[in-house]
Amino acid sequence: MGKCPNRKVKKRRYSHKTARLAKFLRKGDDAVYDELQRSDSAKNPLPFDEDLPGMGQYYCLHCDRYFAHESVRDEHFKTKRHKKRVKEMMGPKPHTQLDADLAAGMGMPDNGPKLMPV
């Protein structure tokens, strides 16, 4: 990360793309939902990543956010935004392309007979 190369104004600001980077890296609702469903069975320790805040050790699954310290994360758990998100993730499965296809009057996808005997 550095200065914006095509910066004309003498202001110390980064490119708008850098500012929006977090948005692109954030997981979608359905991905988070799947992760939550999966994590109930198998929980593995978070890997160390020096690029992430707090070495990537303090993570909120629901909001897909990393925190610098445990206390900060616990503070986040108390926020309205987090609680709203948890409620949302406890609800029904997010809309997918399959739901859209079924709503359009299509049947379930047909993959044909199994090629390899199980």
Partner 1 sequence: MRLEKCWFCSSTVYPGHGIQFVRNDAKIFRFCRSKCHKNFKMKRNPRKVKWTKAYRRLHGKDMTQDSTFEFERKRNRPERYDRNLAENTLKAIKKIDKIRVAREERHHKLRMKGKKAKEQKEAAIELEQGIHLVKAPSVLAQDQSLTLPKIKVKVQAQAEENQAMEE
According to the 3-state scheme, what is the secondary structure of 37-89? HHHCCCCCCCCCCCCCHHHHCEEECCCCEEECCHHHHHHHHCCHHHHHHHHHH
| Out of 19, 72, 90, 100, the residue judged to bind partner 1 by CB under 8 A | 100
Could you give phi then psi for residue 76, rounded to 5 degrees? -65, -35
How far, rounded to the nearest angstrom, does the alpha carbon of residue 52 sit from its chain's CA centroid?
14
Site for partner 1, residues 34 to 93, rule: CB under 8 A: 92
Which of 107, 116, 117, 118 is the binder for partner 1 (CB under 8 A)? Answer: 107
71 touches 62 (CB < 8 A):
no
- Specify the DSSP element, H or E, that contains 18: helix 16-19
**Binding of residue 109 to partner 1 (CB under 8 A):** yes
Q: Does 2 bind partner 1 (CB under 8 A)?
A: no
Q: Is 117 in the site for partner 1 (CB under 8 A)?
A: no
| Position 18 contacts partner 1 (CB under 8 A) | no
Q: Which stretch binds partner 1 (CB under 8 A): 41-49, 61-69, 70-78, 109-117?
A: 109-117
User: Which of residues 21 and 68 has its CB atom nearest to partner 1 in the complex?
Assistant: 21
Q: Which residue in the set 16, 50, 110, 118 belongs to the binding site for partner 1 (CB under 8 A)? A: 110
* Residue in the block written with tokens 């609702």: 29
Positions in the binding site for partner 1 (CB under 8 A): 24-25, 27-31, 92, 94-95, 97, 99-113
